[in-house]
Amino acid sequence: MTITPLATAIDKLTEIQKRAVEWDNGPLLVLAGPGSGKTQVLTCRIARLLDNARDKNFRVLALTFTNKAADEMKGRVASLVPGLEDRANIGTFHSFCAQILRQHGVHLGIKPDFAIYSLDTDRQAVLEDALLAAAARGESVSKGDVKLLGLIDRMKARLIDPANAPKALAQYKNAEHVTAVYELYEEELRRLNALDFNSLILEAHRLAVTFPALAERYRRSHPFWLIDEFQDTNSAQYRLIRALAGADFKNVFCVADDDQIIYQWNGASFRHILAFLKDFSAEAIQLPTNYRCPPAIVDAANKLVAYNAQRSDNKTPLIAGKTNLRYPAEQHIQLRKFANEELEAHGIAEEIARRGKAEWGEIAVLGRTRALLERMYAALQAQQVQAMLAQRRDDFLSAEFRWLVAFLTQLARPLDKRNFEIVVSAFNRVCGIDCQADQVVADAEATGRGYINSWLTAATGLAEGLPRAALLELASKLVETTTGFRTIVTKLIDAFGATGNHDETQVDLVEDKAAWNELTSDIARNVGRQIPLEQFLQELQLRSKEPSPKPGTVTLMTVHGAKGKEFDHVYVIGLAEDILPSFQSKQKGDQSAEMEEERRNCFVAITRTKECLVLSRAAQYRGWRKAPSRFLVEMGLVSET
């Protein structure tokens, strides 16, 4: 009898992990602490559901919060049940909503080739255009009303559309005015056939509520749902799940850890875990064993989080399950104290430099604020330590890749004047010419030619004899056919000719090229190589544009950015009062929800560690004396108060 990869994987699970994997019908909440093997449980469960139904054609739906997490899950499922992975619909909430709207958005007047605006600058420009046009018509709005975009975003995040805005804004004196601005913004997005990030969930929810037959179709085609990192769901995401599930659907399997809720600002709440248990009449089981961290870190984490009140009842403390310890116990948690923040950064950088290049790739420095990390990054550079300050990047940095994306976007949306301005201005920088977008638009409209064809003619004349003029010839081939755009795009990127020297523009180009290659490979592997240009652009907008760290690179991250990751050696800096916990949380009070979230931030930070944890603080920050973080006291590591 052949032993399959799935059978081998399940055989290695603990009894409680197997219970979760072998759960059949009905709702289940799996409380999975850090390092408890929850991704293995999720992927084994998906694989088992598919393997047990090889003669069926239903799909399993799995939702998570980052494309990297989704891609990892897809890869694991493919390795466990080769050939069945296409029946696993695994993605982020936003990518799933985009999928729903591509297939059914026409019922709401949304065409399948809609654009996704992820950049604040794009969204501000959309609203600004709408306001200027309305003001020209005599409506009582002005360009200054663009400041209301933040309020509009908050309403969308609560699934409040313009029709329901007046009621939601009842306490505002200018409710009618805000509603009018919101309507103008939505009308302009619709005119452009575009959606912003919050629109994806809002419109998918509207579809499910307005057309319950569509929700029923998803329940039939996807009879098993799994939600990863459920504690991070906000109100809109939870309401979307409820709307899609309807009154009777119960096959929802959620993995969560209430001790890792650190996105309260985005609407994540302990209440959603309680609501799931109640609304779905769900059972709950716990995976308490931590296989990642040494016992001393598990013990410190338990002591720390016990101070929080917003936790599941009767929750078992974490159990240390790691047995292959590379270092003696006294090295598992180490404390560092410095006179001020400059000496802290310098001292930690020196220590990391002494560890040697062989270890740099498995080191992370975590901080509560960006300012701490930027100081740390400068100190590492001074020690000639290769380091990367990780951050989400919603756009490419180089003129070359900004032009490429804008050019492809223009092919999909040939009448988009604002995007066309980016095409022209970015290529001016790429090639060193001075082409005027407004003149090209005027010529195009006078002659009846398209914007892109008119620009190609103008730019070719201006670029004649210049080194990068050959890009225009390749671009012309893209205009002729977008069916095989990947091949021509590859040639365009080769023609960019990044040298990798230390010139800043070249560094940006090299990083963008690395990010592009990763992104397009992920899209091809997980969505398909033959997807149309419009869907490719949607997938591109849903993904962060930063490249993965090079081998041998120290990673600097905020605690929020480190969620879901793990490293051999973790340095947590700034463990002082007013830093971690933050000054703002202290102002709210010792028993406040904000203080509990700061404690969870610390809990998440320390449990990223596989081998050694260094906790660092300074006696002074910005010239002000700071006491040791209360979290050091709560973990039993210092006795000062």
* pLDDT tens track for 92-103: 999 999 999 999
Helix residue spans in 331-484 (DSSP H): 341-355, 357-360, 370-382, 399-412, 417-431, 437-447, 451-463, 470-480
| Both tokens assigned to 83 | 């050939």
Please give the helix or strand (H or E) that residue 212 lies within, else none.
helix 212-221
Half-sphere exposure of 311 (CA within 13 A, CB side): 20
For residue 405, what pLDDT is reported? 94
For residue 310, what pLDDT is reported? 86
Instruction: Kindly report whether the peptide bond that precedes residue 551 is cis, defined as omega within 30 degrees of 0.
Output: no
For residue 424, what pLDDT is reported? 95
pLDDT score of 451 more than 60:
yes
Q: What angle do CA 440, 444, 445 make, to 5 degrees?
A: 120
**pLDDT range class, residue 625, cuts 50, 70, 90:** very high
pTM of the complete model: 0.90
The alpha carbons of the chain give a radius of gyration, in whole angstroms, of: 26
CA distance 114 to 195: 7
For residue 503, what pLDDT is reported? 57
205 or 264: which leads in pLDDT = 205
What's the average model confidence in pLDDT over 242-246? 96
Half-sphere exposure of 55 (CA within 13 A, CB side): 0
Q: Please check whether residue 42 is in contact with residue 256, taking contact to mean a CB–CB distance below 8 angstroms.
A: no
Residue 274 CB contacts under 8 Å (≥ 6 apart), including other chains: none
Q: Please check whether residue 186 is in contact with residue 220, taking contact to mean a CB–CB distance below 8 angstroms.
A: no
pLDDT tens digit sequence for 498-521: 544 455 567 889 889 999 999 999
For residue 507, what pLDDT is reported? 81
CA distance 453 to 423: 12
For residue 54, what pLDDT is reported? 93
pLDDT score of 113 more than 70:
yes
Q: Please check whether residue 38 is in contact with residue 32, taking contact to mean a CB–CB distance below 8 angstroms.
A: yes
CA 17, 21, 26, 30 dihedral sign is: positive
Parallel/antiparallel/unpaired status of strands 624-625 and 609-621: antiparallel
Q: Please check whether residue 298 is in contact with residue 43, taking contact to mean a CB–CB distance below 8 angstroms.
A: no
Tell me how far apart the 2 most distant CA atoms of the chain are, in Å.
Answer: 79
For residue 486, what pLDDT is reported? 84
Mean of the per-residue pLDDT values of the chain: 92
pLDDT tens digit sequence for 419-442: 999 999 999 999 999 999 999 999
Q: Please check whether residue 97 is in contact with residue 204, taking contact to mean a CB–CB distance below 8 angstroms.
A: yes
231 or 641: which leads in pLDDT = 231
pLDDT tens digit sequence for 268-304: 888 999 999 999 999 999 999 999 999 999 999 999 9
Q: Give the C-alpha distances (Å, rounded to integers) separating 95 from 35, 235, 539.
A: 26, 18, 8
DSSP state string for 130-191 = HHHHHHHTT-S--GGGGGGHHHHHHHHHTT--GGGHHHHTTT-TTHHHHHHHHHHHHHHHHH
For residue 504, what pLDDT is reported? 59
Residue 372 CB contacts under 8 Å (≥ 6 apart), including other chains: 341, 573, 574, 579
pLDDT score of 467 more than 90:
no
Nearest residue to 265 via CA among 558, 492, 509 = 558
For residue 484, what pLDDT is reported? 76
Residue 112 CB contacts under 8 Å (≥ 6 apart), including other chains: 101, 102, 103, 105, 106, 534
For residue 500, what pLDDT is reported? 46
> Which has the minimum average pLDDT: 85-89, 117-121, 125-129?
117-121
Decide: residue 201, CB within 10 A, 0-12 exposed, 13-18 middle, 19+ buried.
buried
pLDDT tens digit sequence for 599-622: 999 999 999 999 999 999 999 999
